[in-house]
Amino acid sequence: MKGTAKILGVLVGVLLTLLLMGTYGLFYGYFDRGQFEIKEVQWSPSNQVAILAERSDHVALGGLEVFVLTGNHLLTSGELRHAYHSSAVVFAAESDCLKLHWDSPNRLVIRCVGPTLDRDHINAQKKQSGNTAISYENISLK
């Protein structure tokens, strides 16, 4: 009887570990099969980088999403995927009209070239990322 309880305990432990790993992977982009591509990179005078990236897929309910990240180095495609599923995203929208510009060493301007980007197409929008202030031109505030 003791041997059966030990085996059952080990199996339950293994199943719980696999469940936790799967849940972690689901929420941090490990199962996201979208294509991630850097569209624009802008370096600030203080050696911060703003990255405009695009996530696209060919799934029926999926589609195009453009997002902005800031940091101190260029990201690999794996890092882009992980950052997209984290709180690191500064701005995300269902539009490809975005351009980036550093107004000062600690102020990033995200601009929509073309018609105003309305809040219905904005999925994430921050006003601050670390010590970087974010401002918007031709983009509605959410």
Pairing of strands 91-93, 122-125: antiparallel
SS3 (DSSP) at 36: strand
Q: What is the pTM of this model?
A: 0.76
What DSSP character marks residue 75? P
pLDDT in tens, 71-121: 999 998 888 888 888 899 999 999 889 999 999 999 999 999 988 899 999
**Ranges of each domain in the chain:** 1-31, 35-137
Given a cut of 90, whether residue 64 has pLDDT beyond it is no
CA 66 to chain centre: 9
| CA distance linking residue 30 with residue 2, whole number of Å | 39
